[in-house]
Amino acid sequence: MIDENLDYKLLKIKNGKPFFAIINLEIIKNEERNEIIEEYCGDGWQRQGDIESVPMKGYEDWKKGVINGLEFAFSKSNEKWKIKIKKVEGRIATDTNPTIIGFATILAFCKQTNLKLDDTEMEKIENFTFKSWENRNDEKIPNFINLEYEQ
């Protein structure tokens, strides 16, 4: 069951381009190590214009965006966390790509854990995300630690 109160919604238009994602994470402190549990419960693509919700099978690039966003957040935290990824939603090819998903994941993590990133670092991540529709970057997997794309 998903606690809708944990939904983090990113909706922004920048330079005429849309950036949209909904991320639902259940986060608790963990004593020994960071742990990610993927519990996607979506149905994927249903109809033109509908929001797509990531299922357990498929959407691997979006899932990798979530994981890379969490790995970045882990690298900035002094705590250890257990995270259940419950829901990832967006609109493929029009409003959402792996970088946008990863950025929304970072913001969701920061909000729930009260992790503060410094302004300069946040600006760099935002600029990286806002360029994700350029040069076919929307087809690539983001690395938020190095601010570059993986093939």
Residue 151 in this model has a pLDDT that exceeds 80: no
- pLDDT digits over 40-72, tens only? 999 998 888 889 999 999 999 999 999 999 999
Going from the C-alpha of 3 to that of each of 24, 87, 94, the distances in angstroms are 8, 10, 27
- pLDDT digits over 71-118, tens only? 999 999 999 999 999 999 999 888 999 999 999 999 999 999 999 999
The radius of gyration of the chain from alpha carbons, rounded to an integer in Å, stands at 14
User: Could you tell me the pTM of the whole model?
Assistant: 0.96
Domains of the chain: 4-150 (3.30.230.10)
Taking CA 40 as the corner, what is the angle to CA 127 and CA 34, rounded to the nearest 5 degrees?
A: 65
pLDDT of residue 46: 85
pLDDT of residue 98: 98
Task: Report the mean per-residue pLDDT for the chain.
Answer: 95
pLDDT of residue 121: 96
Q: In terms of Cα–Cα distance, which of 51, 55, 133, 135 is closest to 99?
A: 133
SS3 at position 10: strand
